[in-house]
């Protein structure tokens, strides 16, 4: 079954180009294209896509607010941000709003396709250059998070992109133990998924 995608970008040339590009990728079906965030939310409500691919800077409603509304009102639809803007505030705002992925517009077609597929599968994809800059530029404050040392370590490893299996191997514990730590830290920090965990780790300087 093809992945059903809605594209949102206020620039007509970019929007049409993305639609054409995505239609060339196997397993992806573009079912709608929006010129702003408000139209994107409407199309998601009408078509129930698997993923919304959205720009950040748009008139009427920006990509962050569109992401927030889609995730609140249509939780089955995941969101991937594709934007020219990759400053720290934009990345963190998008992730906090519920975006599963964050890519810059210099990403190639295959990278975009992988990010869409990953988001639909509940996995988080953040552009490697963006991750590296966030890690290098994030201050390291001392914050009382309420997490245990082991939960803090698990959070740091999540931010580095490790899977549960890799975390278990790194800490020399079982995957069941890792899942328990993740459940506890998600509950304490009020996190919904790994994308929010990555944003939380960056804010705390744990990455």
Question: How much is the pTM?
Answer: 0.67
* Lookup: tokens for 69: 């509304």
Q: Domain holding 196: CATH number? A: 1.10.10.10
Domain range enclosing 198: 138-204
Number of domains in the chain: 2
Interval 51-76 mean pLDDT: 93
Q: Domain holding 66: CATH number? A: 3.40.50.2300
Indicate whether 126 and 158 sit together in one domain: no
> Would you state the pLDDT for residue 101?
85
* 108 contact partners, CB below 8 Å, separation of at least 6: none
> Whole-number mean pLDDT of the chain?
86
* Lookup: tokens for 181: 């730590």
Task: List, for residues 110-128, the tens digit of each pLDDT value.
Answer: 889 988 998 898 887 777 6
Indicate whether 57 and 118 sit together in one domain: yes
> Would you state the pLDDT for residue 139?
46
How far apart are the C-alpha atoms of 150 and 164, rounded to whole Å?
14
Indicate whether 30 and 103 sit together in one domain: yes
Answer with the one of 111, 134, 157 that is the final residue of a domain. 134
């Amino acid at each position: 079954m093809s992945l059903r995608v809605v594209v949102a970008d206020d620039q007509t040339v970019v929007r049409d180009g993305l639609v054409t590009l995505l239609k060339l990728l196997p397993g992806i079906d573009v079912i709608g294209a929006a010129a702003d965030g408000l139209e994107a939310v409407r199309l998601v409500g009408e078509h129930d896509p698997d993923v919304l691919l959205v720009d950040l800077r748009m008139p009427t409603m920006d990509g962050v607010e569109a992401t927030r509304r889609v995730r609140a009102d249509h939780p089955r639809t995941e969101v991937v941000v594709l934007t020219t803007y990759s400053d720290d505030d934009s990345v963190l705002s998008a992730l906090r709003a519920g975006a599963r992925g964050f890519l810059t517009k210099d990403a190639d077609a295959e990278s975009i396709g992988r990010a869409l597929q990953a988001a639909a599968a509940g996995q988080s994809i953040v552009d490697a250059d963006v991750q590296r800059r966030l890690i290098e530029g994030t201050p390291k404050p001392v914050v009382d998070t309420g997490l245990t040392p082991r939960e803090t370590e698990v959070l740091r490893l999540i931010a580095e992109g490790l899977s549960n299996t890799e975390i278990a191997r790194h800490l020399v514990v079982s995957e069941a133990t890792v899942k328990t730590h993740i459940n506890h830290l998600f509950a304490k920090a009020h996190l919904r998924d790994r994308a929010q965990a990555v944003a939380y780790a960056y804010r705390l300087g744990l990455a």
